[in-house]
A and B are shown apart, each in its own frame.
Chain A
Amino acid sequence: MVMIAALLGITLLGAVVTFFADDRYAARLATAISSIPALLSVWMYWQYYQNFQEAGNALLTPGEAAFVQQIPWIELAGFELQYYVGLDGVSMPLLTLTTVLTTLALVSSWTPISERQNQFYGLMLLMEASLIGVFAALDFFLWFVFWEGVLIPMYFLIGVWGGPRRKYAAIKFFVYTNVASLVMFVGFFSLVFGLGDEISTLGLPAIAQALRGGAELGSLFGFPLATVAFVLMFFGFAVKVPVFPVHTWLPDAHVEAPTPVSVMLAGVLLKMGTYALLRFNFTMLGDVAQTLAVPIAAIGVLSVIYGAMLALAQRDLKRIVAYSSISSMGYVILGLISFQEHGVGGATFQMISHGLISGLMFMAVGVIYNETHTRMVGDMSGLADRMPWTVGIFVSAAFGYMGLPLMSGFAAEVLVFLGSFQSTVLPYAPLFTGVAMFGIVVVAGYLLWAMQRSVFGPYRLETDYEVAGAPFHDVAPLVVLLLLVIALGVAPDLSYRMIQHAVNPILDVGGGI
């Protein structure tokens, strides 16, 4: 199956073409190019939904993965590296999220991005290609190349087109994530060396199965190697998620990044971290995860509460959404560590749901900013009169964030809590769940407060021009996203069933301890 290669090829080629295209039509060109992988992946999603609904996990039952392509690549130091891609119920929705969100983000860039457009759109497409690769790759090196390939365009996107403190934010992002990658790399390779002759390729399925098969790993400096590797990899991925206390790059990056880049950052890049946690830490080293359940759950719950509290203290709408992302990612961690059917499935569903909702929130804030040139709660009020469409969607998205039933956030959070409450792996599971649920109250608190002060009430905003509604091409992506959020809220099974079947194998073995 060459579908994934086609996705990668089209976006990569498109990135190069756009990068050197003329500034005047770069925006349209990039959007047109990116709609091809978007449509293609939607079609693939549909195929998957019809034919592979019941397929298992790409790592634990690799024979059942869809769209698999496997070609030998490099023979390196005794390992066989491969071009090995494939999708399962976890990666398929994330991949579709990536392609669709990129296209919408590109449309939403038309208004705010005016300088060096060809380079901006080229880098966005390059990032899309890398993201597709991250979610599709099933070979460690291939995956790592794409993983790093996401960071480089992101660094430029923040650094060149960002706000006043863009240089600081870009460097901070780059340093944080590269150090994290290095730590993760070391952690993973300690696993590979621990496995020694048991594996001959660096295909993730082979490694996952060897580890699940009870391979003896030995110890390092008196600690069990598996635990050392788990901690190193967890640190590496936790920075990307991010969770407390390694989250400090995120608000800076979000505030300084231009809106479309924030959309990608919150919508997809954060999911790289949780996706990798699920794939590496929780799938390969599930037993270690269970022994460390309490600290991991504590990190998750702390992120929920701490992120929400920080959001409560912000005035900048972008910062509010940024901090609340940390909070939402905390739910994902809690769901994953529950090792319960609905917990892990709900966490994965939350990745999709949060990708859509936070993308929508950032986009809406961006549209408001395009018109008002401020994002500060308190600088403006009563915008609902001037821009009814944008504000209407913004408010709906906020309710989605708070977990209003019939929107995807509700389904995701209910599933996470359902799973984590019943968890047998996690001691004091009800307690952790209860504290985490408290986060929802705080979310409602700051979002309602921000809504009330900025968009309702009498109109007040000092500008020397007339604030009017946003142009159609700014609002259209918002509508699409809102419809997707509602669709997943009304019928979670559009993706929850395939997620369920993909995560079940993780529980089968991991739950045995």
Chain B
Amino acid sequence: MTQLALQMTQSSWTALAPTLLLGLSALALLLVDSISPEESDSTLLAGVAGLGSLAAAVTTMVFLFGGRGLPTEQGGQGIVSLFGDQIVVDQMSLFFTFIVASVVTLVVVASSDYLRDHRYKAEYYTLVLLASTGMSLLASANSLAIAFISLELASLPSFALVAFLKSNKGSVEAGLKYFLIGALSSAVFAYGISLVYAATGALQFDAVATAIGEGVQTGVLGIGILMIVGGVAYKTASSPFHFWAPEAYEGAPAPISAFLSSASKAAGFVLAFRVFLTAFPVDVAGAAIDWVLVFQVLAIVTMFVGNFAAATQEKVKRMLAYSSIGHAGYVLIGLAALTGGVDQSQVLGAGMAHLLVYGFMNTGAFLFVALAEYWGVGRTFEDYNGLATQAPLACAAMTVFLFSLAGLPIGGGFFSKFTLLMATVNSGTWLLGAALIINSALSLFYYTRVVKAMWIEDPADGLELDDYPVGLYTAVVAAGVVTFLLLPGFDVVIGFAESAASLV
């Protein structure tokens, strides 16, 4: 009997393996650094970090395909909950950990080149891995307390990473802005948690829901929920807390922009999905506040703000930053279309699938910007003129990213946007669907500007690239191949996304 219990504990522990792998590689990096502090060999550090995150990504994939996190009734190995249900490992946490881990892998591989002339490499990789540990923990959080701690674990290293280019004014300024707004929204989030606790007396998600069902002070609860929405909006860079994003993404080192706009956004969304579906289900929390309506407004505003602002930018990185706000608006449909009578797994699954595809295509696009910064070709659209004459492979990958972001059927972005559209149609939220179509059409305009610059415009005099960094190239091309393969292979993504969404 004891043996059986021990076995179960073991198998429960291993369910956290991806998160632990990320955290342990961060510690391993510190160890390596303390053994040879003078060593500025980027390959070793990047190798350790890359292997750690790749192992985490592969483990989540093995878990997903092995049926972990799926209830035994559905043929899986069961949902694992740990520490008195504070942490739960189900398909959704694995799905999001996969997004985070694969983005981190790409970012780390790319960083090995990007950081060639910088100091404090070990610290950089450690911070990236610690932040991703926080993000993957966030994906498993089952109580507001754990959620807050993981959120901070994800945020604090990010502040430092944004300001990593110490001698660069823009980077430091971005870091400070990010930190200030981050601190503010953390406070708002924490206050929201305390109000929810005041109203319900519970922190664990399902206990909160039960308490609400038994009748609570709806006023206090409503304000608390609204504040939690604020915290989520900050983390996902959605309106009205999106102002930090363009600054931070533009000032930060480009691989960090990729990391923040893809992995960090995904982590914010998994928090939102869990909190709002488990702790504040529509049917019980509706009395306090109609958060579906709140998200509908936020989604539409975010889509328009992001895309219209992106269309007016002159710098590629800033354009991508605003487009990433626009994409947050698309994913918000996953919550905003949860009107009564609609199949939750379809709506939420659409948002999750889009986040996964987005994780690859957006990371790839930012890493291409990192490549351009590495070459020193400048930041505006014009500076990209004629890049394809020098680097056709990377530019082909970038073209795949941009067209896939726009929703052309050249990458997984086409299907993920289509599933979002179907979600709006099936839930009868026509306005959201119309906003999605209008903004996608608009986005094609500004994404095409980059494509046009790279391929069609004539190169500036003396544009000569003779350095093709292996790490950056590997990351960009790998992201491009995956983005393309997600088009024929979208079945797998949507399958896991929908089954994970149905469990929450």
**Which residue numbers of A lie inside 8 Å of B, CB to CB?**
19-20, 73-78, 116, 118-119, 144-145, 148-149, 152, 156, 159-160, 166-167, 170-171, 174, 178-179, 182, 186, 193
Contacts and interface: CB of A to CB of B under 8 A. Distances in A.
B419 interface: yes
Contact of A160 (B350, B456, B491): B456
A75 B487 contact: no
Contacts of B448: 171, 174
A191 to B, nearest CB: 13
B410 to A, nearest CB: 6
Contacts of B410: 148-149, 152
B295 interface: no
A178 B488 CA distance: 22
Given A148-B410, A159-B456, A182-B441, A74 B490 contact: yes
6 closest residue pairs by CB, A with B:
A77-B422, A159-B456, A145-B409, A74-B491, A148-B409, A74-B490
11 contacts: A74-B491, A75-B491, A75-B495, A77-B423, A116-B389, A145-B487, A148-B410, A152-B403, A159-B456, A167-B457, A193-B425
B244 interface: no
Interface in B400-458: 403, 408-410, 414-415, 418-419, 422-423, 425-426, 437, 441, 444, 448, 452, 455-457
Given A76-B419, A76-B490, 5 more contacts: A19-B392, A119-B388, A156-B456, A159-B455, A159-B456
Given A116-B389, A182-B441, A193-B425, A77 B452 contact: no
B455 A160 contact: yes
Contact of B494 (A76, A160, A171, A193): A76
B494 A167 contact: no
A13 to B, nearest CB: 14
B51 interface: no
B415 A76 contact: yes
Interface in B442-491: 444, 448, 452, 455-457, 487-488, 490-491
A101 to B, nearest CB: 24
A73 B425 CA distance: 22
Contacts of A73: 488, 491
Given A75-B495, A145-B414, A182-B437, A170 B389 contact: no
A364 B325 CA distance: 51
A167 B456 contact: yes
B111 interface: no
B346 interface: yes
A116 B390 CA distance: 11
A166 B452 CA distance: 11
Contacts of B419: 76-77
A299 B361 CA distance: 42
B396 interface: yes
Contacts of B495: 75
A171 B455 CA distance: 13
Contact of A149 (B409, B415, B437): B409
Contacts of A75: 491, 494-495
B393 interface: yes
Contact of B452 (A144, A152, A159, A178): A159
Nearest to B400: A152
A77 B426 contact: yes
A115 to B, nearest CB: 9
Contacts of B425: 193
B392 A20 contact: yes
Nearest to A182: B441
Given A20-B393, A182-B441, A74 B456 contact: no
Interface of B: 346, 350, 388-389, 392-393, 396, 403, 408-410, 414-415, 418-419, 422-423, 425-426, 437, 441, 444, 448, 452, 455-457, 487-488, 490-491, 494-495
Contacts of A19: 392, 396
B400 to A, nearest CB: 10
A74 B415 contact: yes
- Most B CB within 10 A of own CB, among A116, A152, A170, A186: A152
A78 B457 CA distance: 43
B99 to A, nearest CB: 20
* Majority DSSP secondary structure for residues of B touching A: helix
A77 B418 CA distance: 9
Nearest to B410: A152
B452 A171 contact: yes
A148 B403 CA distance: 11
B449 to A, nearest CB: 10
A415 B323 CA distance: 53
B457 to A, nearest CB: 8
Contacts of B452: 159, 167, 170-171
B359 to A, nearest CB: 19
A174 B403 CA distance: 12
B407 to A, nearest CB: 10
Contacts of A78: 346, 422
B456 A166 contact: yes
A167 B451 CA distance: 12
Residue among A74, A156, A167 with most chain B CB within 10 A:
A74
Contact of B456 (A20, A149, A152, A170): A170
A166 B415 CA distance: 31
Contacts of A182: 437, 441
Nearest to A174: B448
A76 B353 CA distance: 11
A364 to B, nearest CB: 28
B367 to A, nearest CB: 20
Nearest to A151: B408
Q: Which residue among B410, B441, B452 has the maximum number of chain A CB atoms within 10 Å of its CB? A: B452
A167 to B, nearest CB: 6
B431 to A, nearest CB: 15
Contacts of B408: 148, 152
B386 to A, nearest CB: 10
B444 A178 contact: yes
Contacts of A174: 448
Nearest to B396: A19
A111 B437 CA distance: 43
Contacts of A149: 409-410
Contacts of B392: 19-20, 118-119
Nearest to A79: B422
Contacts of B487: 145
Contacts of B494: 74-76
B152 to A, nearest CB: 37
Contacts of A145: 409, 414, 487
Contacts of A179: 441
B274 to A, nearest CB: 23
B412 to A, nearest CB: 11
A19 B397 CA distance: 13
A95 to B, nearest CB: 20
A134 to B, nearest CB: 12
A174 B423 CA distance: 28
Contacts of A119: 388, 392
A151 B392 CA distance: 19
A156 B408 CA distance: 15
A186 B490 CA distance: 22
Nearest to B487: A145
A331 B456 CA distance: 36
A316 B419 CA distance: 47
Nearest to A115: B389
Contacts of B350: 77
A78 to B, nearest CB: 8
Contacts of A156: 455-456
B349 to A, nearest CB: 9
Contacts of B441: 178-179, 182
A491 B191 CA distance: 84
Given A145-B409, A167-B456, A77 B346 contact: yes
A76 B422 contact: yes
Nearest to B388: A119
